[in-house]
Structure 1
Amino acid sequence: MITFIPLTGFLGAGKTTTMTATALALQAQGRKVAVITNDQGVELVDTKLVRSKLDAVAEVTGGCFCCKFEDLVEAIVALVGSDDVDTVIAEAVGSCTDLQATVVRPLRQYYGEQMVVAPLTTVVDPLRFIAFDRAAQRGEPESDLSYLFRQQLTEADVIAVNKLDTVKADRAEEILTRLRTEYPNATVVGYSATGGDHLPELLTAWGGPSGNQAVELDIDYDRYAAAEAQLAWMNQELDLSAAGESFDATAWASSVLQHLSDWARSTDALIGHAKLTVETGGEEFAKLSVTGAGEAPVLDRAAGATATAARAVVNARVACEPDELDRAVQQAVTAADEAHGVSSSATTPVSFKPGYPRPIHRLAAAGA
């Protein structure tokens, strides 16, 4: 019997880091674990990083699991068949919700004899929660993105508050208490996927009850679609070459993301996430990310040495128009090239806005 563990949560919450950390922890317990990444676009930065740490990795691209349900099932079957897997962890697109009705229940109904579907887990960045909550406390009308964020919390069986090491202890406890009070059907767990603090508590929660499986999410699909349409999604590849003898790939990538972060702050553009990898040859690559306007890039992996040539991939999800994001990334790359002695050649930007979500299945809760 296969155990399927579905993760959701807003962009930048740390779903991929959570998925990787828990997969490694479960493997240490003797489980054979595979993971599935998911995105509206293609050429995923996260998949590259995950494959550097785990053996069994698949991806579903071009749409969320709800709209690519058969692709999800095919990925699960392929992983189980080729790698003798007994556990699959899958992270949905960060702008997706309504997964109880469109993914969890269909899997249980159509494949319940072949797999156990664990409680639906929503991964939360505490700083993102604070930002959305602060707007609500000021009495501002609920934005479509805030509405989407709230729906992800409402349907969760487990609310997994990641990055608790980024806030003070008293503030962290206040957030956990608020979430337990406002979402009593969910198990609320606080942890750090990067540091590993309290990660066993999240693994334990996955073996608990699915408190919301019988709750019907009252979701306005027009608002859901409007929230997704606020975000421009960009994937771009670049070929890099040193203008001199060599260049520092990690420093170049950090410079690109810092310029993009500063631009977002100056234009008041919400960053879902911006991620960048630079492959310098063989297994060597750098990977960095930024999840908030004005924030410094976070280094997930550094390239081992300077390089004469490299290939970079940018994934950016920002609340702005696609052409604005294209220009911002181009300007950030140009600035980084000049600062680090690099000549870059980019593919045509492929920024877009997601289409209207149209799930393959949408099953009502039992008794609804």
Structure 2
Amino acid sequence: MITFIPLTGFLGAGKTTTMTAAALALQERGRKVAVITNDQGVELVDTKLVRSKLDAVAEVTGGCFCCKFEDLVEAIVALVASDQVDTVIAEAVGSCTDLQATVVRPLRRYYGEQMVVAPLTTVVDPLRFLAFDRAVQRGEPESDLSYLFRQQLTEADVIAVNKLDTIKADRATELLDRLRAEYPNAAVVGYSATGGDHLPDLLGAWGGPSGNEAVELGVDYDRYAAAEAQLAWMNQELDLVAVGETFDATAWARSVLEHLSAWAEATGSLIGHAKLTVGTGEDDFAKLSVTGAGEPPSPDRAADGPTAAARAVVNARVACEPAALDRAVQDAVTAADQAHDVTSSATTPVSFKPGYPRPVHRLAAAGA
């Protein structure tokens, strides 16, 4: 019997970092863990980073788990068969919701004899929560993106407040208490996936009850689709060559994201996340990310040193039109090329907006 641990949560919440840290912690306890990444596009920055730390990794691309349910099941089966795993952690696309009805219940109904499905966990960035909350406190109408964010919290069995070390202790306590009061069906835990603080609390919550298993949660699919349609999604690959002998790949990546972050701030464009890897291979690459307009890039990994050539992958999810995101990334790359004496050639921009979510299964709560 394997254990399947589903994660959801808004873009930039730290789901991949949480998934990786949890997998490593469970392996220290003797579990054999595999992970599955998920995205609307292909060429995922997160998958490359996870593969640098874990052996058993799969991905489901081209749609969320709800619309790619059979692909998810096939990935689980393949991981179990090839790597003899006993635990699978999977992170859904950051703009996805309604996973209780479209993923958790179908897995329990159709595959309950082969797997135990852990409580659905929604990973939350406290600064993102507070940003959405400020709009509510100002009396602004709830945006479709804010609706999506709230639905992810409403359906959670576990609300996992990541990056708790980014806010003051008294504010963290206040936030956790508030979430417990507003979402009584969920276990609320605070932790830091990067620092490891209180991570065991999250692992313990996965062995607890599923508070929303018998609750029917209504989802307005038109608003859900409208929220996803506000985001432009880009995955782009670039080949980089030094004008001189070598260039600093990590510094080049930082420049790209700094320019993209500044553009988003200047245009008022919400950044779900912007992630970039650049390097010479599977073992030598830098990975940086930005999760808020105007914020500096956060380094997850640095390249080994200067290089004459490298390959980069950009994943950007921004609330704007696809053409605007294409131009912004192109301008950011041009600026980084000029600053670091690099010549780059890129694939054709492929920014897009997701289509209407059409889950394969949608099961009502028992007794509903």
Q: What TM-score bracket applies, with the shorter chain setting the length?
A: over 0.9
- Whichever residue aligns with residue 254 of structure 1, its letter is R
The equivalent residue for 1:134 is 134
Quote the Cα distance in structure 1 between the aligned partners of 2:135 and 2:35: 35
Quote the Cα distance in structure 1 between the aligned partners of 2:357 and 2:124: 22
Question: 2:99 matched to 1:99?
Answer: yes
Quote the Cα distance in structure 2 between the aligned partners of 1:59 and 1:314: 17
The equivalent residue for 1:280 is 280
Shift of 1:280: 2.1
The equivalent residue for 2:147 is 147
The equivalent residue for 1:69 is 69
The equivalent residue for 1:51 is 51
Quote the Cα distance in structure 2 between the aligned partners of 1:282 and 1:96: 29
The equivalent residue for 1:18 is 18
Shift of 1:282: 5.5
The equivalent residue for 1:253 is 253
Q: Secondary structure at the match of 2:180?
A: helix
The equivalent residue for 1:5 is 5
Quote the Cα distance in structure 2 between the aligned partners of 1:127 and 1:215: 28
Q: Deviation per CA, 1:16-55: give whole Å up to 9, x if none.
A: 0000000000000000000000000000000000000000
Question: 2:344 matched to 1:344?
Answer: yes
Contact 1:249 1:280 in 2 (8 A): no
Quote the Cα distance in structure 2 between the aligned partners of 1:283 and 1:173: 40
Question: 2:210 matched to 1:210?
Answer: yes
The equivalent residue for 1:166 is 166
The equivalent residue for 2:227 is 227
- Whichever residue aligns with residue 221 of structure 1, its letter is Y
Q: Secondary structure at the match of 1:107?
A: helix
Cα 1:282–1:41, aligned 2, differ >3 Å: closer, same or farther? closer
- Whichever residue aligns with residue 40 of structure 1, its letter is Q
Cα 1:349–1:210, aligned 2, differ >3 Å: closer, same or farther? same
The equivalent residue for 2:85 is 85
Q: Deviation per CA, 1:169-200: give whole Å up to 9, x if none.
A: 11111110110000001000000000000000
Q: Secondary structure at the match of 1:241?
A: strand
Shift of 1:250: 0.1
Question: 2:366 matched to 1:366?
Answer: yes
The equivalent residue for 1:114 is 114
Quote the Cα distance in structure 2 between the aligned partners of 1:270 and 1:351: 16
Q: Secondary structure at the match of 1:172?
A: helix
Q: Secondary structure at the match of 2:244?
A: coil
Q: Secondary structure at the match of 1:277?
A: strand
Shift of 1:245: 1.0
Contact 1:234 1:316 in 2 (8 A): yes
Quote the Cα distance in structure 2 between the aligned partners of 1:136 and 1:75: 40
Q: Secondary structure at the match of 1:255?
A: helix
Shift of 1:281: 3.8
Quote the Cα distance in structure 1 between the aligned partners of 2:149 and 2:363: 21
Q: Secondary structure at the match of 2:293?
A: coil
Q: Secondary structure at the match of 2:240?
A: strand
The equivalent residue for 1:175 is 175
Question: 2:326 matched to 1:292?
Answer: no
Runs ≥4 residues deviating over 6 A:
none
Quote the Cα distance in structure 2 between the aligned partners of 1:256 and 1:22: 30
Quote the Cα distance in structure 1 between the aligned partners of 2:80 and 2:143: 41
Percent of aligned positions that are identical: 87
Shift of 1:104: 0.1
Q: Deviation per CA, 1:287-328: give whole Å up to 9, x if none.
A: 000000000000000000100000000000000000000000
The equivalent residue for 1:194 is 194
Q: Deviation per CA, 1:189-226: give whole Å up to 9, x if none.
A: 00000000000000000000000111111110000000
- Whichever residue aligns with residue 194 of structure 1, its letter is T
Quote the Cα distance in structure 2 between the aligned partners of 1:276 and 1:27: 28
Contact 2:52 2:282 in 1 (8 A): no
Shift of 1:342: 0.4
With the length of structure 2 as denominator, give the TM-score of the two structures.
1.00
RMSD, aligned CA: 0.5
The equivalent residue for 1:60 is 60
Any stretches of 5+ residues in structure 1 without a counterpart? none
The equivalent residue for 2:329 is 329
Q: Deviation per CA, 1:115-167: give whole Å up to 9, x if none.
A: 00000000000000000000001110000000000000000000000000111
Contact 2:48 2:282 in 1 (8 A): no
Quote the Cα distance in structure 2 between the aligned partners of 1:39 and 1:215: 27
Quote the Cα distance in structure 1 between the aligned partners of 2:316 and 2:282: 25
